């Protein structure tokens, strides 16, 4: 019996869950300006996953990398949700 699959599933669940409040807080305090940070982090994690020989480690890095890239889209969509009044405007809202 191997736990690799369930551990990857759990890690994916936790990583995606962790990025949800990150998107909301980032847009609230910084606007959409730091999108490039998620781009660099995503590319870095994906590149690192290519060099990790451990399956679990590579999977976690890959999921984190692609979640970082997806966060860019979510950050701009969060900005639109704030514009529609679905979320409160923060001090960083005017910053793009």
Q: Give the integer Cα–Cα distance in Å for 9 and 76.
A: 27
Give yes or no for a contact between 59 and 53, defined as CB atoms under 8 angstroms apart: no
For residue range 14-56, list pLDDT tens digits in order. 999 999 999 999 999 999 999 999 999 999 999 999 999 999 9
Place of tokens 């890690």: 11
pLDDT at 6 over 70: yes
């Amino acid at each position: 019996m191997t736990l690799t699959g369930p551990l990857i599933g759990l890690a994916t669940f936790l990583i995606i869950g962790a990025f949800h409040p990150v998107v909301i807080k980032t847009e609230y305090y910084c606007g959409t300006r730091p999108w490039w940070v998620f781009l660099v982090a995503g590319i870095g994690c994906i590149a690192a996953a290519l060099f990790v020989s451990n399956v679990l480690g590579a999977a976690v890095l890959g999921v984190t990398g692609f979640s970082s890239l997806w966060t860019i889209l979510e950050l701009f969509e969060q900005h639109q949700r704030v514009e529609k009044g679905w979320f409160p405007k923060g001090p960083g809202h005017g910053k793009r």
